[in-house]
Amino acid sequence: MAELLVWGGAILSVAGLVGLVLCILKVTRARRANLGDEALREAVRKVVPLNMAALFLSMIGLMIVIVGIFLG
């Protein structure tokens, strides 16, 4: 059981990390597009929910890993 928690938490953490990389790529593309100030702010504003979800997913995954280690 504990091993499943560790592996499941690790998968969630990796999924969160992938989400963070996607956020970085989206903002980098927006910055390279030489958008105006308002357009760049809007592009970043659209990425914020994805960024928060990815951070939350990664945090929950790490918490599950810790619980799995404690139980194992």
Give a yes or no: residue 71 inside a domain.
no
Name the domain count of the chain.
1
Give a yes or no: residue 19 inside a domain.
yes
Give a yes or no: residue 59 inside a domain.
yes
Structural domain boundaries enclosing 46: 2-66
Q: What is the pLDDT of residue 68?
A: 95
Give a yes or no: residue 16 inside a domain.
yes
Give a yes or no: residue 72 inside a domain.
no
Give the model confidence (pLDDT) of 7-56 as tens digits.
Answer: 999 999 999 999 999 999 999 999 999 889 999 999 999 999 999 999 99
CA distances from residue 37 to 15, 32, 53, 56, 72 in whole angstroms, order as listed = 31, 13, 25, 29, 51
Distance between CA atoms of 36 and 6, rounded to whole angstroms?
45
Give a yes or no: residue 30 inside a domain.
yes
Give a yes or no: residue 49 inside a domain.
yes
| pLDDT of residue 72 exceeding 90 | no
